Amino acid sequence: STGNEVTKPESYDVEYLTPVSIGTPGQVLHLDIDTGSSDLWVFSSETPSNLVNGQSLYEPAKSSTAQKLEGYTWKISYGDGSSSSGVVYRDSVTLGGLTVSSQAVEAATQVSEEFTSDSNNDGLLGLGFGSLNTVQPKGQKTWFENIMQELDSPIFTADLKAGEPGTYNFGYIDKNAHIGNISYVSVNDSNGYWTWTSPGYAIGTGALVSTQIMGIADTGTTLLLLPSTIVVMYYAQIPGALYDATQGAYTLPCSPTPPDFSFAVGDDGQVITIPGEYILYAAITSIGTMCFGGIQADSGIGFSIFGDVALKAAFVVFDGGKKRLGWASK
Ligand SMILES: Cc1nn(C)c(C)c1CC(=O)Nc1ccccn1
């Protein structure tokens, strides 16, 4: 089988939300598909109402196929400081027309302020590796791990776009969605992430700098987080760009358009180029002259993060069968 689903960007492309149907009859929630984590958790009837702010709720009591996993709990914290926790059900979960009849659905009984204030985000659907799942006493498989063997090919693809809806495909590669070859690189899943190594980068029209950048392909992270040395080089090319200690981030003039940023993939010379305009995020001054930078340092994380800023410049194949990533321009 194969499937596909549209995913829509929130403002400034900070996240992409995808309709997912849970339970019988189906309860449609809009989830943040996140290749950087492996829990499927949702706002629910068990989320204290003072922590709910417009989100849709999964109500297991209204699903004839919901089964409570007694004594099972989960608790997750993300690198940006956000967190959530709760209890666990098993229920039917349909994404892109593909149904897993017995998927662990983690109902939140606690969510941090970042999630409460994100009104359109009803939860996360992790597409990392199962080893990252936080359910106790027994870790649960992701939706993709559960559907994989039904798929024509054990893969899914991400085609995120700047300021417009994109697509997640399951089980097949849409040749019309990319331009030129797909370059594949091996993935090291030992830390549960889609971890790969880029052999280099280029700033604007500059020459490729050969250096290894080890990072994760993470649809659930907004920005491109890179080694500080590279980030300093990038913003040094932009008059007026500066590190804003108050924001704890690099900022740059909202105009003119900043230089493109390219990263290499594989040993066949494939390069993904991020247009400079993708690097301009929200204006941080009321007079709107300085903008938040889409490239920031990965300091303290231990690896780089190829988040949405990078992913929306590419067609990306997440190959669960061969544990590899495919990158193509589009
Ligand atoms: C790992 C990491 N360190 N730091 C500073 C950041 C921003 C990350 C990535 C991260 O937190 N991503 C995320 C957040 C919420 C939901 C899903 N993904």
Q: So what's the pLDDT on residue 126?
A: 98
Distance 192 CA to ligand 1 centre (A): 14
First to last CA, the chain: 25
pLDDT band of residue 28 (cuts 50, 70, 90) is very high
Distance 37 CA to ligand 1 centre (A): 9
Q: So what's the pLDDT on residue 280?
A: 97
Q: So what's the pLDDT on residue 110?
A: 98
Q: So what's the pLDDT on residue 102?
A: 98
pLDDT tens-digit map of 58-80? 999 999 999 999 999 999 999 99
The one-letter amino acid code at 78 reads Y
Pocket test for ligand 1, best of 34, 42, 78 (most atoms within 8 A of CB): 78
Is residue 124 within 8 A of residue 143, CB to CB? The reply is no
Q: Residue 323 is encoded by which pair of tokens?
A: 């544990």
The residue-averaged pLDDT of 97-119 equals 98
- CA-nearest residue for atom 18, ligand 1, is 220
- CA-nearest residue for atom 15, ligand 1, is 78
**pLDDT higher than 90, residue 287:** no
The full 3-state SS of the chain, as one line of letters, equals: CCEEEEEEECHHHCCEEEEEEECCCCEEEEEEEECCCCCEEECECCCCHHHCCCCCCECHHHCCCCEEEEEEEEEEECCCCCEEEEEEEEEEEEECCEEEEEEEEEEEEEECHHHHCCCCCCEEEECCCHHHCCCECCCCCCHHHHHHHHCCCCEEEEECCCCCCEEEEECCCCHHHCEEEEEEEECEHHHCCCEEEEEEEEECCCCCEEEEEEEEECCCCCCEEECHHHHHHHHHCCCCCEEECCCCEEEEECCCCCCCEEEEECCCCEEEEECHHHHEEEECCCCCCEEEECEEECCCCCCEEECHHHHCCCEEEEECCCCEEEEEEC
Distance 61 CA to ligand 1 centre (A): 32
- CA-nearest residue for atom 2, ligand 1, is 79
- As a whole number of angstroms, the distance between CA 113 and CA 287 comes to 28
In terms of Cβ atoms closer than 10 Å to its own Cβ (0-12, 13-18, 19+), residue 179 is exposed
The share of the chain scoring above pLDDT 90, in percent, equals 98
Q: Residue 280 is encoded by which pair of tokens?
A: 């301009």
Phi/psi zone of residue 323: left (φ > 0), alpha (ψ -120 to 50 degrees), beta?
A: left
pLDDT band of residue 288 (cuts 50, 70, 90) is confident
Report how far apart, in Å, the C-alpha atoms of 162 and of each of 7, 91, 131, 141, 166 are. Answer: 12, 33, 31, 31, 9
Q: Could you list the active site residues?
A: 34, 198
pLDDT band of residue 152 (cuts 50, 70, 90) is very high
The residue-averaged pLDDT of 276-305 equals 94
**pLDDT higher than 90, residue 212:** yes
**pLDDT higher than 90, residue 45:** yes
